[in-house]
A and B are shown apart, each in its own frame.
Chain A
């Protein structure tokens, strides 16, 4: 998806077309990319257009974005750990 966007902006349905996943999975994926600051999207009428933001980010902005993503990933692991601990007790 990032590869496709590196060639220029695209609508959500254009991005979903070559993918083997559902439209909702594509939307979810785009949401994560947007939260990480890698993609920006704009809604015009009924069409949402996505643009890659990476090129406009400085090295430090990318770094900070990655740091945030790193901690998000640690919390995914914390959730799994808490679930395992809860399962041990029951």
Chain B
């Protein structure tokens, strides 16, 4: 199976101190308030054990029947500064990617610059097969456009 390796970075300036931003990651109550998906989704499992070696899981069924599973392990945590985790993403039984996600928090005045870097191995064959089988070829474009235009995405992906 071919593999595509890729990296992307997201940079945001958040109007809160690094302490507050960090706190938004540390408990299921806080993280569940923003790291979430549309309300018509059924949560099958949601866990967060925020410590090095601890696991996070977000397992859900979508109205379309699609089951997505985000399974992460925390690898490095420096309070108010840095969070590094590795996660696998599944669609039904297919593992589509393994990603190294690094979140850096840098104080900037009273605000926080958040840098999110994701380095991943994308399992090309699996992604193509999922697209063909579950959604047809136009699904991803439709979904992406829906997200961009402010409508809710059809899948946690």
Q: Which residues of A contact B (CB under 8 A)?
A: 2, 29, 32-33, 36, 38, 54, 59-60, 62-75, 77-83, 85-86
Find out whether the CB atom of B124 lies under 8 angstroms from the CB atom of A78: no
Chain B residue contacts of A72, Cβ below 8 A: 10
Q: Which residues of B contact A (CB under 8 A)?
A: 4, 6, 8, 10, 12, 14-16, 20-21, 24, 30, 33-36, 96-97, 114, 116, 118, 120, 122, 124, 127-128, 131, 137, 140-141, 143-145, 147-149, 153, 156-157
Chain A residue contacts of B6, Cβ below 8 A: 60, 64
Within the complex, what minimum Cβ distance (angstroms) separates A58 from chain B? 8
* A8 and B96 alpha carbons, distance in the complex (Å): 33
Chain B residue contacts of A62, Cβ below 8 A: 140-141, 144
* A54 and B35 alpha carbons, distance in the complex (Å): 28
Chain A residue contacts of B140, Cβ below 8 A: 59, 62-63, 66
7 closest residue pairs by CB, A with B: A81-B34, A77-B34, A82-B16, A78-B34, A60-B4, A68-B8, A62-B140
* Extra 13 A-B pairs, beta carbons < 8 Å, given A59-B131, A59-B140, A64-B122: A33-B148, A36-B144, A60-B6, A60-B122, A62-B144, A63-B96, A64-B6, A67-B97, A69-B147, A78-B21, A78-B24, A85-B20, A86-B16
* A79 and B124 alpha carbons, distance in the complex (Å): 33
Within the complex, what minimum Cβ distance (angstroms) separates A85 from chain B? 7
Find out whether the CB atom of A70 lies under 8 angstroms from the CB atom of B35: no
Within the complex, what minimum Cβ distance (angstroms) separates B154 from chain A? 11
Closest Cβ neighbor of B97 among chain A residues: A67
Find out whether the CB atom of B144 lies under 8 angstroms from the CB atom of A82: no
* A81 and B15 alpha carbons, distance in the complex (Å): 11
Find out whether the CB atom of A38 lies under 8 angstroms from the CB atom of B33: no
* A77 and B8 alpha carbons, distance in the complex (Å): 20
Closest Cβ neighbor of B96 among chain A residues: A63
* A71 and B144 alpha carbons, distance in the complex (Å): 12
* A21 and B33 alpha carbons, distance in the complex (Å): 32
